[in-house]
């Protein structure tokens, strides 16, 4: 019964539609933190601090892009730079208390929005959907290893 090509077509179309709206949706949901800023802060929290280069590598961004993003977040008082003990060239980026607060606030907003949006899904469906997304993104990550540029 499942038509493989139709499914692929749908997946492609719906993911594209989602991607197109994501930035604007994030801006609406939390104007004080862009999707990218949010992501970088969340990574810093999760990792307990890391270098700009690590962020660039992880998110496939140019180091200049990360440098400017971080400069903005520092200006806002959300991150601070600490000397890296083992390499004087590097700086380790850390969330400030203010950054952690803002991140927590935004994360809560997002959580609520998702909870609302997915409120009528049953647990098993949510679980499967989460699993599929993980699997999809993991395959993406694999492909990226082989990609040339960026």
Partner DNA sequence: CCTTTAAGTTGTACTATACAACCGAACCCG
Partner DNA sequence: CGGGTTCGGTTGTATAGTACAACTTAAAGG
Q: Residue 78: how many CB atoms within 10 A of its CB?
A: 24
Return the beta strands (E) in the chain as ranges. 79-83, 91-95
Q: Which does 145 bind (CB under 5 to 8 A by kind): its own copies, DNA, none?
A: none
Which token pair is 106? 């935004």
- Collapsing DSSP states into helix, strand and coil, what is residue 81? strand
Q: Which does 105 bind (CB under 5 to 8 A by kind): its own copies, DNA, none?
A: none
- In the stretch 30-69, what mask flags binding to DNA with x, by CB under 7 A? ----xxxx-------------xxxx-----xxxxxx-xxx
Q: Who's near 121: CB < 8 A, 6+ residues apart?
A: 129
Rounded to the nearest whole angstrom, what is the least distance from the CB of residue 35 to DNA in the complex? 7
**Nearer to DNA (CB atom), residue 28 or residue 135:** 28
Among 3, 5, 86, 120, binds DNA (CB under 7 A): 86
Output 108-114 pairs: Cβ under 8 A, ≥24 positions apart: 109/29, 109/30, 110/29, 110/30, 113/29
**Nearer to DNA (CB atom), residue 121 or residue 141:** 141
Q: Which residues bind DNA (CB under 7 A)?
A: 20, 24, 34-37, 51-54, 60-65, 67-72, 84, 86-91, 149-150
């Amino acid at each position: 019964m499942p038509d493989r090509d139709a499914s692929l077509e749908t997946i492609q179309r719906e993911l594209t539609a989602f991607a197109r709206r994501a930035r604007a949706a994030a801006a609406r949901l939390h104007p004080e933190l862009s999707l990218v800023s949010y992501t970088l802060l969340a990574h810093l929290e999760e990792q307990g601090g890391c270098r700009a280069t690590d962020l660039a590598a992880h998110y496939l961004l140019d180091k200049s892009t990360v440098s400017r993003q971080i400069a903005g977040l520092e200006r806002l008082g959300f991150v601070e730079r600490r000397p890296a003990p083992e390499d004087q060239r590097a700086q380790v980026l850390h969330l400030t208390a203010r950054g952690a607060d803002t991140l927590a606030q935004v994360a809560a907003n997002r959580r609520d929005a998702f909870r609302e949006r997915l409120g009528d899904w049953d647990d098993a469906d949510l679980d499967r959907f989460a699993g599929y997304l993980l699997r999809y993104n993991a395959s993406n990550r694999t492909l990226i290893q082989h990609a040339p540029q960026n």
